[in-house]
Amino acid sequence: MTRKQLIQQIQQKKSYLCVGLDTDITKIPKHLQPFPDAIFEFNKQIIDATQDLCVAYKINTAFYEAMGLKGWEAMEKTVHYISKEHFIIADAKRGDIGNTSSQYAKAFFETLNFDAITVAPYMGEDSVKPFLEFENKWGIVLGFTSNVGSKDFEQQKIGDEFLYETVLKKVCSWGNINNLMFVIGATKASDLEEIRKIIPDHFLLVPGVGFQGGSLKEVSKYGLNKDCGLLVNASRTIIYASTDTNFADEARVIAQQYQIEMATYLS
């Protein structure tokens, strides 16, 4: 998906919501457990209930890889089921030496046909560049995360700036606004104002809204740019809104609340 197409979807739906399909087999409703592929059935119903309210889906690959072949097949079926008007993200946090990264890129962009993949930049340019060499595909580089351990490296000072600031500045030179996004944690929304000074035009994938305590209002206040520039991810707060047979309806209610609020910030 191109940047222009993504922006058009945001404008049409008045939404920058990304629904996270972090599907845990132990948390899906019991009535789905007898299905031959309970994970895919759960995802299918969530997608049907939310697809007109969101512009993206993010699949956390760990939940699928942990199940072996069965999980991988469920992930593949899920990607194929999502309509192509949606931006589909593989939250896989890959990043290795160049030839290995190239194979990861082929796996997620060609074999599975994701639009984007999250990438860890620790190993440098040659580990990230392979993800930026596919037409109309995106690398989403970890920029500033909201986990407790981010203080161990990301928030350490190098001279007059934090390491994460150095990363943002450096990585920008490896790609452009048409193939490169950054992950910025929502629970540090007030820092977005400074981050936007470094990367004013790039899209940001912002996890942590909802269950993890991030504020959509604050993220939108500091993170929106002229093209919107945000994909705000909500996972557990939407997909696990209920464990009853009406779980998809309840998921839609929460997704719609986000979409309605987003529409006010886009107006």
Active site residues: 93
62 with 23: CB under 8 angstroms? no
Q: Assign 190 to helix, strand or coil.
A: helix
Alpha helices, H only, the chain: 3-13, 38-50, 62-65, 69-81, 98-106, 125-128, 163-172, 192-198, 216-223, 236-239, 247-266
- Look-up: residue for tokens 């989403």? 140
User: Rounded to 5 degrees, what are φ and ψ at 155?
Assistant: -100, 15
> What angle do helix axes 247-266 and 38-50 make, rounded to 10 degrees?
40
User: Rounded to 5 degrees, what are φ and ψ at 204?
Assistant: -120, 130
18 with 232: CB under 8 angstroms? yes
Task: Give CA–CA dist 184/191, Å, rounded.
Answer: 9
